[in-house]
Structure 1
Amino acid sequence: MSNYPLLNAFLTMLWFFLWVLWFMLLFRVIHDVFSDDGLSGWAKAGWTVFVCILPFLGVLAYLVARGRGMGERSMRRAQAQEQAFRSYVREAAPSGPAAGTSKADELAQLAGLHDHGDITDAEYEAAKAKVLVS
């Protein structure tokens, strides 16, 4: 028989989960401090020292003082990365007549994809019809 009751196992898992959650929150706050371009170097140093010396109070104070901006800054960074990615794709892989490809070249590429098994018969026929119509 076991000397570790089910309730103790549950409480151990709960404490472990809270411990992991705490570290995720701590690292999220530290990441936000260093990725915020609006903070000066002294402000970043101050928040970092506060969070490292008094972690619970520091994280709580940071969330109260700057918590709303964390999501907004994260959203702006994600949008900027998405825009940069889309811009890179547009520059790196132009398509259509602007790329200097003819319909025959596009059909040859489609046939190669179809023969290689990268696209299905239905996708091939739909793409072929789109190339021939344009």
Structure 2
Amino acid sequence: MDWGSTWDFLWHFLIIFAWIAYLLVLFQILTDLFWRDHKTSGFAKAIWVILLIVFPWLTALVYLIARGNGMAERAREAAAAAKKQTDDYIREAAGRSPAEEIAHAKELLDAGTISQSEFDALKTKALS
């Protein structure tokens, strides 16, 4: 067994892994800068991009340390907004408003089809 080729393989594997990890971090940073962060000025964004090109690893590390909490908050807000848009679309596609859902549930309650607790559950679900 040629140990040189094994170590070469491991070294290349490590380099490729580091490169892919850096690309993932870079795309997260660029996404945060240009699509999620609306408070940072264009000049500051340009400086971050230039630094990411000139000193890639160091700038990425500094960005993650300095702005990591903000990245997480903006990502959470973006996910919540996407969920709200999806929920709104589903409600719109379903064709009934919450008021119509409650009215239908009230009809079922009046007809004796469902119990008061089931009506309350349907009402709570329609209002959420």
- TM-score interval, normalised by the smaller of the two chains: 0.5 to 0.7
Give the TM-score of the pair, scaled to structure 1. Answer: 0.63
Separation in structure 2 between the aligned mates of residue 3 and residue 40 of structure 1, nearest angstrom? 52
- What does residue 83 of structure 2 align with? 82
Report how many aligned residue pairs link the two structures.
103
Quote how far apart the aligned CAs of 1:50 are. 1.9
C-alpha offsets along residues 38-65 of structure 1, whole Å, 9 cap, x if unaligned? 2122221221222222222221221121
Matched letter for residue 39 of structure 2: G
Query: Displacement of 1:95 after TM fit?
Result: 4.8
- Asked which structure has the greater RCO (Cα within 8 Å, sep 6+), the reply is 2
Match of 1:123 in 2: none
- Answer yes or no: is the 8 Å Cα contact 2:26–2:60 preserved in 1: yes
Aligned amino acid, residue 71 of structure 1:
A
Aligned to 2:109: none
Aligned partner of 1:25: which letter? V
Question: Which 4+ runs in 1 deviate beyond 6 A?
Answer: none
Alignment of 1:98 with 2:120, yes or no, is: no
Output the CA distance in 2 between the equivalents of 1:82 and 1:3.
52
Deviations 1:54-84 (A, max 9, x none): 2222212211211111111111100101001
TM-score (norm 2): 0.66
2:16 is aligned to 16
Question: Which structure 1 segments of 5+ residues have no match?
Answer: 103-132
**CA distance, structure 1, for counterparts of residue 8 and residue 53 of structure 2:** 31
Query: Could you tell me how far apart the structure 2 residues matched to 1:58 and 1:3 are?
Result: 36
The residue that corresponds to 1:124 in the other structure is none
Q: Is the 8 A contact 1:33 1:48 kept in 2?
A: no
Quote the Cα distance in structure 2 between the aligned partners of 1:70 and 1:90.
Answer: 30
- In 2, Cα distance between equivalents of 1:14 and 1:45: 31
Q: Give the CA deviation at 1:12.
A: 1.8
Q: Residue 2 of structure 1: CA displacement?
A: 6.3
Give the whole-Å Cα distance in 2 for the aligned partners of 1:33 and 1:26: 10
Cα deviation, residue 92, structure 1: 2.1
